[in-house]
């Protein structure tokens, strides 16, 4: 076993953004970041993707909002949140003081709201990029969202790109027949990167009462249960598109994260794992370092897209 003597180079390159390491936290699973301060050093993270923001504060769905399934979690939070003004006034100044990339997950009820959120945030300092959430399945009952078809994806990305002064990551939905087509539409519209995947539209039933277990009937499945499908989608998109891919879905360990990198992701996001262990993202960074040291890998970057497909 080769052992490197120099410290592993962990930097990740998204082209428009250089990260200290490839591990970001996934939107909606890391609150507004500050909730995690007691548990890990936020400055050690590659970046923080904060909870999805609409322009106005939002109520969210009626409970129950969560149900656990085998190695997974279905959520129907409905994007409850504080809105851009409270975020800029109360959260952002504190996040700005932390030396890490802050990425804001942007939501909207329609195209105009997405644009309004971005225009408002453009006037604020301390944001590295936007992650356009066009893929949340919880807002409409049937999980409808722009990311389900190429045309609305193209239109929305194009609009937001035209009003934004910051790089744009488009977060895609896995609830489609061809993820490649949708990713292509986002790329053609000028997105700087794509992130995949968001949650899988799912449901759980209480057999005794014969009622849905979630207040919203359907919700989004996340966690280890979705990793193999997310990995496949990341590989499909990364091997065909030139825009950088951020991979996520069920990452619980350093090995999971490295699989996504090998599949072609330039960076990863850690989601549900942070609910189980609030310091999961920091642990995963440590496990990546250990693996690289044990395998004589000098720079994590060099692993990206190295999958040997027969």
Partner 1 sequence: MTIERDARLREVQSWGSFFRFGIDAPAVGKDARPGQFVMVKVSDGTAPLLRRPLGIHDADAGGFDLFFSIVGRGTEALSRKAPGDRLDVIGALGKGFTMPAPAEGKTAYLVGGGRGIAPLYFLARELARAGARPIVFYGGRTRDEIPIRDRFERAGIEVRCSTDDGSFGFAGFVTALVDQELIKSRPAKVYACGPDRMMKALAGITARHAVPAEFSLESIMGCGIGACWGCVQRIRNESGDGWVKICEEGPVFPGERILWP
Ligand X SMILES: Cc1cc2nc3c(=O)[nH]c(=O)nc-3n(C[C@H](O)[C@H](O)[C@H](O)COP(=O)(O)O)c2cc1C
Annotated catalytic residues are: 136
The reply to whether 223 sits near ligand X by the rule CB under 6 A is yes
Q: Is 106 in the site for ligand X (CB under 6 A)?
A: no
Residue nearer to ligand X on the CB measure, 244 or 250: 250
Q: Site residues (CB under 8 A) for partner 1?
A: 28-31, 35-36, 38-39, 51, 59-60, 63-68, 70-73, 75, 77, 80, 223-224, 252, 272, 274-279
Single out the segment in contact with ligand X by CB under 6 A; choices: 27-35, 55-63, 142-150, 233-241.
27-35
60 binds, among partner 1, ligand X, none (CB under 5 to 8 A by kind): partner 1
Q: Which of 67, 104, 115, 136 binds ligand X (CB under 6 A)?
A: 136
- Contacts of ligand X in 141-200 (CB under 6 A): 171, 198-199
CB nearer partner 1, residue 276 or residue 294: 276
Task: Among 8, 73, 179, 280, indicate the residue that binds ligand X (CB under 6 A).
Answer: 73
Q: Pick what 199 binds: partner 1, ligand X, none; C-beta below 5 to 8 Å, kind-dependent.
A: ligand X
133 binds, among partner 1, ligand X, none (CB under 5 to 8 A by kind): ligand X
| Stretch touching ligand X by CB under 6 A, among 74-82, 119-127, 183-191, 281-289 | 74-82
Q: What is the Cα–Cα distance from 136 to 175, expressed in whole angstroms?
A: 10
Residue 72 or residue 297: which is nearer to ligand X going by CB?
Answer: 72
248 lies in the binding site for ligand X (CB under 6 A): yes
- Cβ closer to ligand X: 269 or 291? 269
Assess contact for 254 and 288: CB atoms under 8 A. Answer: yes
Output the smallest distance, CB 213 to ligand X, in A: 15
Contacts of range 306-309, beta carbons closer than 8 Å, 24 or more positions apart: 306/262, 307/235, 307/262, 307/263, 307/264
User: Which one of the spans 118-126, 154-162, 184-192, 245-253 is the region binding ligand X (CB under 6 A)?
Assistant: 245-253
Pick 133 or 164: Cβ nearer ligand X: 133
Residue number with CB closer to partner 1 (19 or 204):
204
3-state per-residue secondary structure call for the chain: CCCCCCCCECCEECCCCEECCCEEECCCCCCCCHHHCCCCCHHHCCEEEEEEECCCCECCCCCCCEEEECCEEEECCCCCECHHHHHHHHHHHHHHCCCCEEEEEECCCCHHHHHHHHHHHHCCCCCCEEEEECCCCCCCCCCCCHHHCHHHHHHHHHHHHHHCCCCEEEECCCCCCCHHHHHHHHHHCCCCEEEECCCEEEECEECCCCEECCCCCEEEEECHHHHHHHHHHHHHHHCCCCCCEEEECCCCCHHHHHHHHHCCCCEEEECCHHHHCCCHHHHHHHHHHHHHHHHCCCEHHHHCCCCCCC
CA–CA distance, 25 with 95 (Å, rounded to integer):
14
Question: Which listed option, partner 1, ligand X, none, makes contact with residue 30 (CB within 5 to 8 Å by class)?
Answer: partner 1
Residues that bind ligand X (CB under 6 A): 26-29, 51-52, 73, 75, 77, 79, 105, 133, 136, 171, 198-199, 222-223, 226, 248-251, 271-272
């Amino acid at each position: 076993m080769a052992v490197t003597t120099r410290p592993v180079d962990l930097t990740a390159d998204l082209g428009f953004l250089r990260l200290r390491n490839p591990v970001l936290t996934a939107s909606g699973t890391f609150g507004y970041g500050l909730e995690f301060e007691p548990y890990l050093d936020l400055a050690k993270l590659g970046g923080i993707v904060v909870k999805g923001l609409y322009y106005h504060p939002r109520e969210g769905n009626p409970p129950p909002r969560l149900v656990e399934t085998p190695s997974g979690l279905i959520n129907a939070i409905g994007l409850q949140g504080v809105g851009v003004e409270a975020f800029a006034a109360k959260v952002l100044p504190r996040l700005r003081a932390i030396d890490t990339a802050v990425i804001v997950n942007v939501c909207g009820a329609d195209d105009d709201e997405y644009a309004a959120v971005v225009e408002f945030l453009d006037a604020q300092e301390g944001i590295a990029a936007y992650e356009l959430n066009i893929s949340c399945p919880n807002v409409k009952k049937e999980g409808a969202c722009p990311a389900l078809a190429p045309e609305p994806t193209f239109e929305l990305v194009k609009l937001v790109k035209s009003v934004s002064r910051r790089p744009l990551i488009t977060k895609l939905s896995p609830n489609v027949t061809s993820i490649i087509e949708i990713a292509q539409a986002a790329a053609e519209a000028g997105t700087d990167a794509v992130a995949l995947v968001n949650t899988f539209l799912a449901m759980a039933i209480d057999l005794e009462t014969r009622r849905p277990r979630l207040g919203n009937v359907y919700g989004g499945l996340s966690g280890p249960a979705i990793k193999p499908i997310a990995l496949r989608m990341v590989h499909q998109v990364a091997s065909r598109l030139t825009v950088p891919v951020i991979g996520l879905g069920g990452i619980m360990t350093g090995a999971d994260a490295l699989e996504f990198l090998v599949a072609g992701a330039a960076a990863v996001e850690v989601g549900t794992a942070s609910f189980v262990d609030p310091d999961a993202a920091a642990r995963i960074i440590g496990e990546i370092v250990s693996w690289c040291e044990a395998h004589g890998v000098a720079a994590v970057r060099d692993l990206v897209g190295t999958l040997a497909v027969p």
